[in-house]
Structure 1
Amino acid sequence: MIDPRKAERLLNSPVHFDIDQALKRGWELFKAQPLILIMYFLLIMVVSVGPAFYLEDFSTIISLLIGPPLTAGFYLLANKISRGEQVEFKDCFDGFKFWLPVVGVNIITGIITVLGVIALIIPGIYLGVAYTFAMPFVLFAGTEFWTSMELSRKLITKIWWRFFAFLILIVLINMVGILCLGVGFLVSGPFSYMAIYAAFEELTGDLLVEDDADPTITH
């Protein structure tokens, strides 16, 4: 859960984001469990591509309902790895425990971002970047979708251009991975999620607090 005083202090204080540190930390998280992360990413690719060929009429619906909890699985894995906990392949699917909130926040942020793109394009780009942490806040802070979106937007806005550059670097890394006969993408893909989680962990600091009475996962 979120300590309101810490949230207010974080959002009203200068924020420093070290891109190099986030990438290095993301790589450390990946190296801790490379086999599980690669296998899970490969599974997601199969699940994502399969419906497009065999269930074409329902592929969009399936993507909207299954994609978010699968993505959440990467962030939950990163959290467990970061805390030094034992990780098993079945842990990859813990995102389905948060199915309703992660699907909800994914749909709402997607709609608002698309509307921003339709409006003037630039607002859509701004929101697409600013909402990057909406899902992690849902998972690790236990906040409802709008609060998670606003926390993400306000936090990232403080370092928007730097964070945008960070995301561009991740995109370039994935492009290189794809160019390496596609095999490199099996590494760059899961690494990307680890790096984004590392950035989230770096920027939130002690915003998230432990509460044993609350099932929400924290740092």
Structure 2
Amino acid sequence: MEKKNIEKLLERGYDFDIRAAFEKAFEMFSQNAINCVAYSMLILSVQLLVATYVPELTLVYSIFLFPALVGGFFLVANKISQGDAIVYPDFFKGFQYYIVLILINLVGQVLVALGIMALIVPGVYLMVGYMFSFLFAIFAGTDFWQSLELSRKVVHKRWGKFFILFLLLLVLNILAALPALLGLLVSLPVSAFVIYNVFETVTEGAYEEEE
């Protein structure tokens, strides 16, 4: 995937099916449920340990560790989509993109926070707009700023629909967290798979043009 192909994709426009993205995500999860749950349990366990015993490092965890862990879900989703077999170590390959994911997360959070402090709406706009930033860094090889901007530009074309998707994922994870956080073992990977599926649909034209 090249940046010039994405620009052409933006000129043409695109669409995606939210329901289809969720259905495919649950199917992907069901095919690899044990590994997905085990990895989600690891993420939640580390987060709870940090929050309980060293709460002052919670922000450090969210900035310097969580991005690479989330990136692992996207890489696994890609392998599943390609029909490749999944093994547990595949989830940790997000650390291959460690620096760029940290920069995306850090800069993105700062910009979102500034937007919320300003008028709230700009912060919400950016929060939704940066939904694909990790995926562009991983699958298009863009740097942190290019990833943020490409994500914002792509999402901007159908921002209203992405906002609906964002709200659905937010509600899903809030409801999943209610029964002692256990539902998050499913909702975390499913949410990542949903975002990947939409990304794959939206950027399909970019891959086609590259060929």
For the superposition of Structure 1 and Structure 2, which TM-score range results when normalised by the shorter chain?
over 0.9
Superposed CA deviations along residues 98-139 of structure 1, whole A, max 9, x for unmatched, are 100101111111111111111100000000000010010000
SS at match of 2:112: helix
Secondary structure in 1 matching 2:61? helix
The alpha-carbon distance between structure 1 residues 138 and 82, as it changes in their structure 2 partners (threshold 3 A), is same
Q: Equivalent residue of 1:16, what SS?
A: coil
CA distance in 1 between counterparts of 2:16 and 2:10 reads: 14
The aligned counterpart of 1:216 is none
Q: Does residue 28 of the first structure (1) align with residue 27 of the second (2)? A: yes
Check whether the contact 2:40–2:184 (CA below 8 A) recurs between aligned residues.
no
1:2 is the counterpart of 2:2: yes
**How far apart are residue 200 of structure 1 and its match?**
0.8
Counterpart code for 1:13: R
Alignment match, 1:74: 73
Q: Distance in 1 between matches of 2:87 and 2:193?
A: 16
Q: Contact 1:3/1:208 (CA < 8 Å) preserved in 2?
A: no
Q: Paired residue for 1:176?
A: 175
* Shift, 1:177, TM fit: 2.2
Residues 37-46 or 25-34, more deviating: 25-34
* Structure 1 segments of 4+ aligned residues over 6 angstroms from their partners: none
1:55 Cα deviation after fit = 2.0
Q: Aligned partner of 1:201: which letter?
A: E
1:62 maps to amino acid: Y
Query: Aligned-pair distance for 1:178?
Result: 2.7
| Partner Cα separation in structure 2 for residue 190 and residue 7 of structure 1 | 26
CA distance in 2, matches of 1:122, 1:63: 23
Between 179-188 and 197-206, the greater mean CA deviation after superposition: 179-188
Question: Residue 172 of structure 1: CA displacement?
Answer: 1.8
Name stretches of at least 5 consecutive residues in structure 1 with no aligned partner. 212-219
Other-structure match for 1:125 = 124
Where do 5+ consecutive residues of structure 2 fail to align?
none
Matches within 5 A, 1:40-189: 40-180=39-179, 182-189=181-188
Q: Does 1:196 align with 2:171?
A: no
Q: Which has the higher helix share?
A: 2
What percentage of residue pairs aligned between the two structures are identical?
A: 37
Map Cα deviations across residues 56-92 of structure 1 (whole Å, 9 max, x no partner): 3323213211111001011111111111111111111
Counterpart Cα distance in 2 of 1:3 and 1:186: 35
Question: Equivalent residue of 1:206, what SS?
Answer: helix
Task: Give the C-alpha shift of residue 210 in structure 1.
Answer: 11
Q: In angstroms, what is the RMSD of aligned CA positions? A: 1.8
Q: CA deviation at 1:14?
A: 2.2
Residue 17 of structure 2 is matched in structure 1 by 18
Query: Quick one: distance in 2 between partners of 1:194 and 1:48?
Result: 21
1:17–1:159 Cα contact (<8 Å) kept: no
